[in-house]
């Protein structure tokens, strides 16, 4: 499993799950992000997540397609 880290900007408390998948290039578009989340293909903190705009905060991690992203 590949791992990567996403660093929140200093003025940000969170990033939404759909945007996280998009900016880390795990999906090609926001629409694709919504689709894979809706189909139950993404886990957040070890559990399937169906909320497209789930707030991802420091310490949270998302897993999709063999990759894990940790928010720092």
pLDDT in tens, 28-72: 999 999 999 999 999 999 999 999 999 999 999 999 999 999 999
Query: pTM score, two decimals?
Result: 0.93
pLDDT score for 36: 98
pLDDT in tens, 3-16: 999 999 999 999 99
All structural domains of the chain, each given as residue ranges with its CATH number in brackets, are 2-71 (3.10.290.10)
Q: What is the DSSP string of the chain?
A: -EEEEEPPPTT-S-EEHHHHHHHTTSSSSHHHHHHHHHTT--EETTEE---TTPEE-TT-EEEETTEEEEE-
- pLDDT tops 90 at residue 1: no
pLDDT score for 46: 97
């Amino acid at each position: 499993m590949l791992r990567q880290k996403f660093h929140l900007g200093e003025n940000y408390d969170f990033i939404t799950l759909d945007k996280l998948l998009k900016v880390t290039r795990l999906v090609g578009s926001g629409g694709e992000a919504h689709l894979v989340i809706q189909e139950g293909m993404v886990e957040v903190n070890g559990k399937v997540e169906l909320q497209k705009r789930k707030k991802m905060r420091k310490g949270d991690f998302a897993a999709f397609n063999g990759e894990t992203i940790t928010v720092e």
